[in-house]
Structure 1
Amino acid sequence: MTTTNPANAAPLSGLKVLELGQLIAGPFAGKTLADFGAEVIKVEPPEGDPLRQWRLLHQGTSVWWQVQSRNKQSVTLDLRTEDDRAVVRQLAAEADVLIENFRPGLMEEWGLGYEALSARNPGLIMLRISGFGQTGPYRDQPGFAVVAEAMGGLRHLMGEPGRPPVRAGVSLGDTLAALHGVIGVLLALQARASSGRGQVVDVALYEAVFNCMESLLPEYSAFGAVRQPAGSALPGIAPSNVYRCADGQVVIGGNGDSIFKRLMTAIGRDDLGQDPQLAGNAGRAARADELDAAITCWTVQRRVDEVLATLLAARVPVGRIYTARDIAEDPHYRARQMIETLTLADGLQLDVPGICPKLSDTPGAIRSLAPQLGEHNATLLGRPPVGEA
């Protein structure tokens, strides 16, 4: 595990965060704050966060758990009971930030809404992540990432033309919302430094997705253009695509004006590189199929390694399509500490993603493994750990 240089305190050292959320969105926000020094107290139901049992398990616990809950402390409370809700009120009274991703209105039903908690702790910042936000006609609808990605405009663009939409294979809606939530928390902390008061950060999953949709809406507004799925291509920007090789595939981004010329020279097509109609992106976009065919004609006759070597020498952006194995074996990941190796209690060596982003003077760190269920009940609540009398 990496450790923070004691001479340079972590940027969020001293910040106390109470995490009530489960699964992905809320906990990913908490994990990001914890990576940079925040003290994150994760409140789990007595049966534990469901993520503990998601996907592949080691010794009965998901290995994902070691990523999502590192640097956190775990206490177990049953928020369906008034006694345990009273404990949450006490913890919130001492916190800087509270994270929750329950359905809108549930915290108020429990007597844990922002008005109630901020009356006791005016400086409290509450990050609220939900499918559709705390207001609006859809606020009460259930909203997982799969729905948010569809409503935000992303799913329609994913896949091949004329085929049903596909998903990315990870919960982008959740992680995008979490990152927007972290931005909101940091902004609210900056505002609190001046005003002394906290506030609510209201993040909707669909809005976090929509916020990343680039020119989708203005193109419709100005031209009535509804962007359509385009597979691995980048519509309106060419050439940029995935290309077949003799033993695999590569992705090539040759869409800069000077890059395009170097690419055409590298593949022996100076006739295209010097064509005045292709000097700018508009002309290349109009002939994208022709350019893709020319590039494929060259790549399909060569192995991936040869394509990479040739195009990198020509300073053309190119890369292989990475799998988990490729990532694990790549020296650049290791050199930049984007793969960290944890040693679990039973001795298992587990590779996990490192810290992102990189700060030069006050970097984040993996300071502790993900906690056992209720591991910190005794120190934080004066209660025995789960499973002990």
Structure 2
Amino acid sequence: MPTRILPAVGDVDAVRSLTTLLSQLPDAEPVAPVVDSTQLVDTLARLAAESVDELPEVVVVHERIGPVPALELIREVALRFPAVGVILVTTDASPGLFQAAMDYGARGLVSMPLGYEELASRVQAVAQWSVGVRRHLGHSGDVFTGAGGTVVTVSGAKGGVGATLTAVQLALAAQASGRSAVLVDMDLQSGDVASYLDVQFRRSVVDLAAITDISPRVLADAVFRHDTGLALLLAPGEGERGEEVSDRAARQIVSALRSRYEIVVVDCGAQLGGAGAAAVEMADTALLVTTPDVVAVRGAKRTVRMWDRLQIRKAEETTVVVNRHTRGTEIQPPLIQRITGTAVAGTTVPANFKELQGAVDAGRVHELDSKGAVRQALWALAGELGLVKAAEGAQKGGRARGDRGSVSLFRRRDGGG
């Protein structure tokens, strides 16, 4: 069986010399090269969506590929497509770079100028490894076949606005609709997901922080399977251990989860740390939950501005969710949209604490009454965000309109829009 090899090279001269050598290798089947990191990931995702068998056994990454640095690109490929072997082509064959490449997930390194014997030896070894991995994973059914899951982060404008409840219900809605979903508690010092769902656990996100190669088996060991079928990756029971999860570790963990689940919902809490910031930056959708009161909306405005200053996320790329909404409040969603400069979700969540109190106190928020207004609104929000399958996710709700009196009131208190 021929070995399919996908070169990822941006330099024209390097492409020519590499493809010429690859075409001379025995039983090699070079495919059309890709010229940058985006095209490589998109190509692999498209092939994986058809079938794992369509993926090349070997990907050869040139050190100057760009725009994503070669090592970071290798990590992403290794995490999202674990049965594809990656070889790094580089002018630096030092032991330090070799070790770094292995840590990031490469299966081999070839130095430039390219030589036939070295390239042939590496390609053969990596191809054999890839075939072996596919054979092993194929029997266990534990191989990624999708193009990469959707990541949604849920942050609070301040504490107590309902971010955790929102995150839990979005993940439950996705799972109930037939999608594979995981809920991550990235509120590392004070996460409450375990309490909301009444679970006892031993492992947490901290157990993955120091692992440089998160295999599907390692990930499965850290994830808790809830009675609802929802996968949970929980915050540590000892809040001080949250400091062990760096922004780099968070990126790797979220990438690993994205490669295994269709929907990844991350509860980031209300306090910004490095891990939460990394998750928000990576997210396909970043939600910011607020209540329609001056203090919370001011907090939302500060958070949006901080994310922008730190280049984590632009205001227009953030969606505010209004919780505990009533028609009578002076601060309505259109006003919040103007103040924060963000999008505002069309679905608002009504104020109905009596509906929640019993379930929250019992740690059974997964058992909220399906006919309750809060639960229906949050599941409608999941539909609006595209987290549930179409048949389950009819979009509901809508925005109430603010008035000039509301604008004037808020400007007096906040010193301007």
Query: TM (normalized to structure 1)?
Result: 0.30
- Point out the structure with the larger helix share: 2
Query: TM (normalized to structure 2)?
Result: 0.29
Greater RCO (CA < 8 Å, at least 6 residues apart): 1
